[in-house]
Amino acid sequence: MGSMKTQVIQLEAHDDVISVRDKMSWAKTERIVLVFPQHSRILTRIYDLKMLQRHAKLVGAEVALVTRNRDLRLLAKELDIPIYSKVSTAKRKNWHSSRLQRLEFHRNKQPDLHRMRREISTPGAGWQDRFVYRFIIFTLGILAILAVLVTFFPSAIILLAPATQQQTLLLKTSSSTSFNAINLAGSLPARTTSLIIERTMSVPVTGSIAIPNSRATGSAQFRNLTTLAVVIPAGTVITTQAHIPVRFATLTDAKVEAGVGKILDQPIMAVEPGTSGNLPANALNSIQGNLGASLGVTNPINTSGGSDRISAIPTPGDRSTLHSNLLMSIFDECKTEIQHSLLPGDVIFPDTMVDSQILGETYFPAEGQIGDTLSITLRLKCQMQFAQHDDLNKMALMVLDLNLPKGYIPITGSLIIHSLSTPVTATDKITKLNLQVQRLLQAKVEPLNVIQMVLGHRLRSAKIILGQSLALNSPPVIQIKPTWWPWLPLIPYRIAVTTVP
The answer to whether 276 and 247 have CB atoms below 8 angstroms apart is no
Task: Round the CA-based radius of gyration of the chain to a whole number and report it.
Answer: 54
Q: What's the residue count for the chain? A: 501
Cis upstream peptide for 482 (omega within 30°): yes
Kind of pairing between the strands at 307-313 and 254-256: unpaired
CATH no., domain 6-108: 3.30.750
CA distance 319 to 327: 12
Kind of pairing between the strands at 164-176 and 187-189: parallel
CA distance 60 to 202: 91
The answer to whether 144 and 466 have CB atoms below 8 angstroms apart is no
What angle do the packed helices 46-58 and 70-78 form, to 10 degrees? 50
CA distance 54 to 72: 17
Kind of pairing between the strands at 191-204 and 207-214: unpaired
| Intra-chain end-to-end CA distance of the chain, in Å | 51
- At 478, give phi and psi (nearest 5°): -120, 125
**Geometric angle at alpha carbon 309, from 308 and 314, rounded to 5°:** 120
Check residue 272 and report its DSSP letter: S
CATH no., domain 210-307: 2.40.30
The answer to whether 81 and 90 have CB atoms below 8 angstroms apart is no
> How many separate helices (H) and strands (E) can be counted in the chain?
11, 27
The answer to whether 458 and 486 have CB atoms below 8 angstroms apart is yes
Closest to 188 measured CA to CA, from 344, 411, 353, 417: 417
CA distance 15 to 318: 76
> Where does residue 410 rank: exposed (0-12), middle (13-18), buried (19+ CB within 10 A)?
middle
CA distance 396 to 90: 48
Domain boundaries, the chain: 6-108, 113-152, 210-307
Closest to 458 measured CA to CA, from 142, 156, 117: 156
The answer to whether 213 and 308 have CB atoms below 8 angstroms apart is yes
Q: What is the pLDDT along the chain (501 residues), one digit of tens a residue?
A: 445 788 889 888 888 888 888 888 888 888 999 999 887 778 888 888 888 889 888 888 899 999 988 888 888 888 889 999 888 888 888 886 434 434 433 444 444 444 444 444 444 444 455 666 667 777 777 776 666 655 556 889 999 999 999 999 999 999 999 998 898 888 999 999 999 999 999 999 999 888 899 999 999 999 999 999 999 999 999 999 988 999 999 999 999 999 999 999 999 999 999 999 999 999 999 999 999 899 999 999 999 999 999 999 999 999 999 999 999 999 888 888 888 888 898 999 988 887 678 999 999 999 889 889 999 999 999 889 999 999 999 999 999 999 999 989 999 999 999 988 899 998 888 999 999 999 999 999 999 999 999 988 999 999 999 989 998 989 999 999 888 888 898 888 889 999 888
